[in-house]
Structure 1
Amino acid sequence: MELQPIGDLFVRLLEMIIVPIIIFTLLMATRELSPKNLGRIGGQVVILYLATTAVAIGMGLGVSNLIDPGTGMTLEQTDVQTGQTPSLTDQVFNIVPENPITAMAEGNILAIIFFTLVFGLGMTMVRAEVEPDSAVRNGIDTIFDVVDAGAEVMFKIVWGVMEFGVLGVFALMAALFGEVGAQAVGAYFSLSMTLAIAIGLQITLVYLLVIIRGAVGVSPVAFLRGIKEALITALSIRSSTATLPISMSDADENLQIKERVYGFSLPLGATINMDGTAMYLGIVAIFAANIAGASLTLIEQLTILLTALLMSIGTAGVPSASLVMMTAVLTQVGLPLEVIGMIAGIDPLLDRLRTMNNIAGDMAVTTVVAKWNDAIDLTSGVWADAPAEFSEEAVSATNDD
């Protein structure tokens, strides 16, 4: 389609800034955190990410058991070409880069995050141990000052990319509808509806009501208004890592979250917090069982939950990366791999919903962790226009009671 190159250029621009913005923002986050605080905030973020992912998988399995997507459809034998799924041990070792420069060149996000955090934490520890006026401390302060300037430059570049993004997003959406049309029917429609309902429940119940309204005590409507640019971008380009610059911009300017929290949680969430992807893995397993005429026991579904949880941690935040990860989930419970080839045609559409769910989860967890660590200003940004019942004074009064 003639508009496709415009959309492709927009995606390329976003990909261009992923690695530098991760490095600059993570290093800036470590500057403001002592090793003790980094451990506390990091622990809260990781635990919440794992918890929301587990709930998402359970949500997907529950909705799938009610709707039974794929029922009435006969499996067609199809040759499937899938990549070799790395073992859990390999995934853990791949987090530690053999060569950090190679990891940056290849866009290995987990390895980049690991090395950047280790390097930044190392500078923070050395800075705390040396004399205040020593050359080493001055050198580290200089590095942090350069990083601070680099981060400001990257945010200015993000602003420019998003100005062009008005055309880019339109081109991407036009190309999508021009290619896909209304071909998804029957069993494919039931698969799509199952995912959409599960995502709707996950976002509404878990993110908006439990986390934002319950744990943070703020307006879910204001929260959605604050993250709408990130959600629209995720829906358009179906990549968590490519959406990262927009997520950070929303967290900083709209949600008024301090960089010491979102600079750590959002890059990490773009890599390991794949709620939508993990949910989809469980739904596809039920779909595969139905079209194969099989029935999954409770134990097998619990096995799917655990496998999907572990596999989602190693899923790259790029379009349709979950197709390879499905191999492990389906093999674990003895389901046919041919289903991967069957759903690959409609996966680009479903991947957009999954990515939007991933981003919503990242932003919700980041918001509650910021609240727990006094790293959010609830009197400005989108919160300033929230109803009186959600004002910071009202929330404080409620907590005091």
Structure 2
Amino acid sequence: MRISLNTQIFLSAVLGIALGLLFAKMGTQTNGVKQGIYLCSLLGTLFIDLLKMVLVPLVFTSIAVGVANLRQHSQLHRVWISTLGFFMLSMALAIVLALIASNWFQPGKGLSLDLFQGANQDIAAKQMSFAEFIAGFLHGLFINPFTALAQSNVLAIVMFALLLGIALVMGGDRYRNILVLLQEGLELMLRMVGWIMRLAPLGILALLAQLLASQNMAVLGSLAQFVAVVLGTTLLHGFVVLPLLLFLIAKVSPLRFFKGAREALITAFATSSSSATLPVTLRCAEQHLHVNPSIAGFVIPLGATANMDGTALYEASAALFVANLAGIELDLGQQLIVFFTTMMAAIGAPGIPSAGMVTMVMVLQSVGLPAEAVAILLPIDRLLDTFRTMVNVEGDMVGSLIVQRLVKEK
């Protein structure tokens, strides 16, 4: 009997966790373990690179075709408004949840600031004000499309593909040949994704083994309260808030959703990259959850760069955590600044592993916290990144189902 891809991915995830714990127990300095971790690193990197190879053409063709297939400008308007409305709502709920939990449990109080001394403070992030960040973010949306394609600037590619799709809608049959070409390009990309997914079980096993073998458990133990608060709120948002929104608005059973989305969620957990997971997310939404390809092709690629529930939740929690470490009490006004700054930072964060660490500097500086405090988060960031990426991807799939329902009702 042939084992399904979902089952293969699940079994490989379990084996990867077991192998990583075995490596950690044997000691990462052992020659055999070093070679095993190196091999896992090669396999994991190969899997992610293969996904990223098809990412740019997949995003470009899926959004352009998705928008063009809506045909009617009024239909496009409904999808656009519904999508943005859901993204803002879900991220706002995630940030509010993080602020409430952080104020209630107050993680970070009582921890020694000496931990900053031994942490790596070499973070490649530009020091910039909120106004500078907004200006840079808007400027990055509209750049030469060929430059964006060459540099894999996903957000700029999304914007150009969106405008191209609208032009194809307004032009009608006049540009039919271009639309057919884009549709065939999309079909080719999805065929290549199918080939790459045959390597998914091996890639996920390698990624998880490498992650658990290299994690610094001693530092993680000193930050246990913060980790518990972040994980608790992230899982609460992912397994209660988002499924509740899905059930109330789209009338879709959470059990049915998680069954259809499992493949993408496990891949997101292993890769910590919503962009690398995008091909799998699209496949789950269209084939397992039966989202209209024109809806999924518009909502999900846009969500992979602009809908970051897990990242927004983490950055809001981390800002209050750092404030507690520094002995600074943030008033309501300052926490409102954290709210809005975190939302913009999450929208601007690229869908790559630990991308939130770069935009975290902006969130801290918006309320006068030391940017150097990001260093204490480095030892635990990779672990937490796996969970928040999973929730980011879940939010994109939930959004596609909700938008489909709202458009049908209208």
TM-score normalized by the length of structure 1: 0.87
The answer to whether the Cα contact below 8 Å between 2:260 and 2:288 also exists between their aligned partners in 1 is yes
How far is the alpha carbon of 1:142 from its aligned partner? 1.7
The answer to whether the Cα contact below 8 Å between 2:61 and 2:182 also exists between their aligned partners in 1 is yes
CA-to-aligned-CA distance 1:190-214 (integer Å, 9 cap, x gap): 12111111112212332111x2211
Match of 1:190 in 2: 225
Match of 2:195 in 1: 160
Match of 1:21 in 2: 58
The answer on 1:32 being equivalent to 2:57 is no
Match of 2:20 in 1: none
SS at match of 1:72: coil
Match of 2:19 in 1: none
The answer on 1:81 being equivalent to 2:123 is yes
The answer to whether the Cα contact below 8 Å between 2:220 and 2:380 also exists between their aligned partners in 1 is no
CA-to-aligned-CA distance 1:228-256 (integer Å, 9 cap, x gap): 11110110011111111011000010000
Name the amino acid aligned to 1:40. Answer: R
Name the amino acid aligned to 1:266. Answer: I
Match of 1:144 in 2: 179
Q: 1:222 and 1:73 mapped to 2: Cα distance?
A: 43
The answer on 1:246 being equivalent to 2:280 is yes
From 321, 325, 330, give the equivalent of 2:355: 321
CA 1:289–1:180 in structure 2 vs 1: closer, same or farther (change >3 Å)? same
Match of 2:138 in 1: 92
Supply the RMSD in Å over aligned alpha carbons: 1.5
How far is the alpha carbon of 1:186 from its aligned partner? 4.2
SS at match of 1:373: helix
How far is the alpha carbon of 1:184 from its aligned partner? 4.1
Q: 1:271 and 1:350 mapped to 2: Cα distance?
A: 19
The answer to whether the Cα contact below 8 Å between 2:216 and 2:379 also exists between their aligned partners in 1 is no
Name the amino acid aligned to 1:101. Answer: F
How far is the alpha carbon of 1:36 from its aligned partner? 2.0
The answer on 1:300 being equivalent to 2:334 is yes
Match of 1:56 in 2: 94
How far is the alpha carbon of 1:49 from its aligned partner? 0.1
Percent identity between the aligned chains? 34
The answer on 1:41 being equivalent to 2:79 is yes
Q: 2:385 and 2:335 mapped to 1: Cα distance?
A: 22
Q: 1:272 and 1:57 mapped to 2: Cα distance?
A: 15
Q: 1:19 and 1:250 mapped to 2: Cα distance?
A: 19
CA-to-aligned-CA distance 1:325-372 (integer Å, 9 cap, x gap): 111111111112222111112211111111011111111111111112
Deviates more, 1:307-316 or 1:76-85: 76-85
How many residue pairs get matched? Answer: 363
Structure 1's consecutive aligned runs of 4 or more residues displaced over 6 angstroms after TM superposition are none
Match of 1:388 in 2: none
CA-to-aligned-CA distance 1:265-310 (integer Å, 9 cap, x gap): 0011000111111111111111111111222212211111111112
Name the amino acid aligned to 1:105. Answer: A
- Higher fraction of helix: 2
Q: 2:220 and 2:276 mapped to 1: Cα distance?
A: 30
Match of 1:274 in 2: 308
SS at match of 1:87: helix
Structure 1: give runs of 5+ residues left out of the alignment: 376-401
Q: 1:178 and 1:356 mapped to 2: Cα distance?
A: 21
Q: 1:269 and 1:189 mapped to 2: Cα distance?
A: 31
The answer to whether the Cα contact below 8 Å between 1:56 and 1:278 also exists between their aligned partners in 2 is yes
SS at match of 2:344: helix
The answer to whether the Cα contact below 8 Å between 1:74 and 1:292 also exists between their aligned partners in 2 is no
SS at match of 2:249: helix
Name the amino acid aligned to 2:323. Answer: A
Name the amino acid aligned to 1:335. Answer: L
The answer on 1:122 being equivalent to 2:167 is yes
TM-score normalized by the length of structure 2: 0.85
How far is the alpha carbon of 1:182 from its aligned partner? 2.8
